[in-house]
A and B are shown apart, each in its own frame.
Chain A
């Protein structure tokens, strides 16, 4: 019997078999493999087999059955191989996904990875996905993020980009986070806002998926009695997938995915793959949310810690100052009596001395120096006492009138008038009477220093937003900004004590009363001293 196929030959010349492709040249000489891989599928062999069957040989029937069975098995093996390699790809992808998710605590990164995985071709390849998160405070599921193209044109751009690049999932997610996340967050705002569902709406398909803890594949959405027609309308697709995100009994949220552009049917295979993906995503999202909250709490704690440290430093500083104050006060008091005796007797001697006595200069020096030292002591004592203001409710107008009366003689000697323009019925202010008296007295004395022959000092008071303002104005030579700076620089550092300039001390006292000390030069000449004393709140 003559056969058309080359299976009878042990060795072939290249032109004898049309089924051997480039790269398979060794099959020309390996007979057994050639028969199994090429001849059994060759139409010439099928023809030879038919002729063999027709020859009536008793083995011909059996041989046909064996060949047909072999071809069936081969085809099954091939499809099984295909299935296996697709599953291997899927497992590799899930492994890559879970690695990325496990190592991320950044919410935006987790979101980017999850949404990229759903929509990327090498992932689940869905066209579009929405993430809804459980809002515990509002007891609702709320639209959080949408990913995917809105139009066919945009879809083509995206897919072209994806096909051109051969990126890993992490790289794709990074690119997404860097370039797209912020824009995607607003792109679907209109849809996301309307996707919100109250958790108490038990009949809603979203809540059903969460309750049953398994994904739901919605088909025929427009005519499905279980689906709210508004939802189908909103998504604009007939078929979509709802995947609940649950981590350790906690309902984190859910993902809706569809093929709004390609309209490719969603298979039960897709559903199964997505189910595997849901748990790591839910877990990573929960962890990222917790981490974000933890970070917020840490930030708050850091701020509190810094404040606490500042307070501690302040307390230590105040304790040191209080100690210095007590020591200073004790020294000053013990110096005061001897000083007074020295100065007092010198004055007494001077008074009874002849005008032309040659020793008069010595006594005058003693009197002058003792007076100077007493001035220093007064300032040191006022300073150490200013560390402990004794706040009480006082009538500021009465205080100012009292100070003016005390200085009446001094003012008269300099030929300066002091006018009071005090607002009536002012509320009481919370101050240390003696300290504020000292300040007013010092400011008037300072104004007197620059006063001209027909000088005038005006003291005004008025109420303003929780404080009483005291403004002392003179018409003397205005102070330069440098002078103001020097006058209010803490006197322990730059000023000589006992020079009669107590303005830096006034600044310290006023700051302890919560009042700024403003010194302004008036455009019309003269200087304004402004203080703002807190009103004593009624209990």
Chain B
């Protein structure tokens, strides 16, 4: 079972993601801040990170850079309310980019594609 780390500052979104992604057959751990996520990444193994860009007082893009630098094989999917970051070259470091939607179909598809690619 693939292990996912979901990073989002909104507890409701963390709850929704946990529930939906668990239903899709993933082992989901959530973090509410970049610091919490960094600590979790230090302590245990994950197969993929789902990362929000706008975190309270922090930028998900900074965390992305840190992950790429320290654990360059860890795939990251950015999941954000802003489609404009797609043009931000620092977002290009991510393996996927999904605009937040109540329909999680696109996010689930993206996770599947990225994990497939990783396993190959």
Contact = CB atoms under 8 A, between A and B. Distances in A.
B87 A434 contact: yes
Interface string B73-95: 00000000111101100000000
Given A337-B81, A371-B102, A344 B10 contact: no
A37 to B, nearest CB: 114
Interface residues of B, number: 18
B102 A346 contact: yes
A498 to B, nearest CB: 13
Contacts of A390: 87
Interface residues of A, number: 24
B70 interface: no
B83 A336 contact: no
A343 B101 CA distance: 8
Interface in A334-373: 336-337, 339-348, 351, 367, 370-371
A390 B83 CA distance: 14
Contact of A339 (B10, B102, B104): B102
A434 B84 CA distance: 9
Interface string B20-33: 10010000000000
Contacts of A348: 16, 19-20, 23
Interface in B65-120: 81-84, 86-87, 100-104
Contacts of A337: 10, 13, 81, 100
Q: Which one of B20, B81, B83, B104 has the highest number of Cβ atoms from chain A below 10 Å of its Cβ?
A: B81
B57 interface: no
A434 B88 CA distance: 12
Contacts of A333: 81-82
A434 B83 contact: yes
A385 B87 CA distance: 12
A374 interface: yes
A341 B87 CA distance: 26
A424 to B, nearest CB: 27
Interface in A411-461: 433-434
User: Could you tell me the dominant secondary structure of chain A's interface residues?
Assistant: helix
B64 to A, nearest CB: 20
B44 interface: no
A367 B10 contact: no
A381 interface: yes
B13 A347 contact: no
A340 B102 contact: yes
B13 A340 contact: yes
Contact of B16 (A341, A371, A374, A381): A341
A374 B102 contact: yes
Q: Which one of B12, B19, B101, B102 has the highest number of Cβ atoms from chain A below 10 Å of its Cβ?
A: B102
A126 to B, nearest CB: 82
A343 B86 CA distance: 24
B12 A351 contact: no
A367 B102 CA distance: 8
A481 to B, nearest CB: 34
Interface in A312-351: 333, 336-337, 339-348, 351
Given A341-B12, A341-B16, A344-B20, A336 B84 contact: no
A342 B102 contact: yes
4 nearest CB pairs, A to B: A343-B102, A336-B81, A344-B16, A341-B12
